[in-house]
């Protein structure tokens, strides 16, 4: 499972802090708003044994649940909670996962969350998309610090974070919850000065 936004962190609503974003691409990977054409990706994510933990991906998929998921992601920007985008293959525009920035309690700080469906892992699209979104956030918005929480045993997610320049700051003991119960979270950060 990729790093995810922890639902226990209170939603911080800051409308207008993040400008509207239509799409970012490097020619290989892209991030863009979710559309109703992306339901197949949500269905695959719902079937994954790990993605629904710590995310709002429906555990039991239906077209109605998929549409509600997409509405929630689009609503994050409208409410001022942050931005949640589909990660896509730039050549096909096919969604492969999710990438989000959600405001933390401190102004100017956002949490990074992401996941990639199993069939698309290992292609480098998540790494490239995280670079795109983090550079946009730190260079084009008032956000000056990005944070990510990840299970310290989730080596693939740690590789993604380190590729994008995140640095490990420490461990939050018994912080995340998964099917094993309470587990530690490694906290990673990326600040403007790191770029």
Digit-coded pLDDT (tens) for 160-191: 999 999 999 999 999 988 778 899 999 999 99
At 3, the pLDDT band (50, 70, 90 cuts) reads: very low
Q: Is pLDDT at 4 greater than 80 in this prediction?
A: no
The pLDDT tens digits of the residues spanning 50-102 come to 899 778 999 999 999 999 999 999 999 989 999 999 999 999 999 999 999 99
Q: Is the dihedral of CA 17, 68, 29, 188 positive or negative?
A: positive
Residue 80 token pair: 């001022």
Q: Do the beta carbons of residue 119 and residue 98 sit within 8 Å?
A: no
Q: What are phi and psi of 182, to 5 degrees?
A: -80, 130
List the chain domain ranges.
Answer: 24-141
At 19, the pLDDT band (50, 70, 90 cuts) reads: confident
Domain 24-141, second-level architecture: 3-Layer(aba) Sandwich (3.40)
Look at residue 12 in the predicted model and tell me its pLDDT. 66
Q: What percent of the chain has pLDDT over 70?
A: 94
Q: What are all long-range contacts of 153-157, with beta carbons under 8 Å and residues at least 24 apart? A: 154/1, 154/2, 154/3, 156/2, 156/121, 157/1, 157/2, 157/3
Query: What is the distance between the alpha carbons of residues 138 and 133, in angstroms, rounded to a whole number?
Result: 9
pTM over 0.85: yes
- CB atoms under 10 Å from CB of 177, counted, come to 15
Q: Do the beta carbons of residue 166 and residue 148 sit within 8 Å?
A: yes
């Amino acid at each position: 499972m990729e790093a995810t936004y922890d639902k226990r962190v209170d939603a911080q609503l800051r409308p207008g802090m993040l400008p509207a974003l239509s799409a970012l691409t490097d020619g290989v990977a892209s991030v863009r708003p979710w559309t109703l054409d992306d339901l197949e990706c949500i269905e695959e994510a719902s079937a994954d044994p790990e993605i629904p933990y710590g995310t709002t991906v429906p555990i039991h998929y239906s077209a109605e649940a998929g549409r509600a998921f997409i509405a929630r992601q689009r609503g994050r920007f409208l409410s001022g909670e942050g931005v949640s985008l589909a990660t896509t293959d730039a050549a096909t525009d096919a969604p492969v996962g999710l990438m989000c920035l959600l405001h933390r309690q401190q102004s100017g700080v956002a949490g990074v969350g992401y996941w990639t469906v199993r069939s698309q892992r290992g292609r480098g699209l998540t790494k490239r998309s995280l670079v795109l979104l983090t550079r946009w956030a730190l260079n084009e918005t008032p956000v000056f610090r990005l944070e990510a929480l990840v299970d310290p045993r989730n080596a693939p997610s740690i590789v993604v974070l380190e590729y994008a320049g995140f640095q490990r700051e420490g461990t939050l003991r018994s912080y995340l919850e998964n099917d094993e119960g309470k587990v530690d979270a490694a906290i990673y950060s990326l600040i403007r000065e790191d770029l």
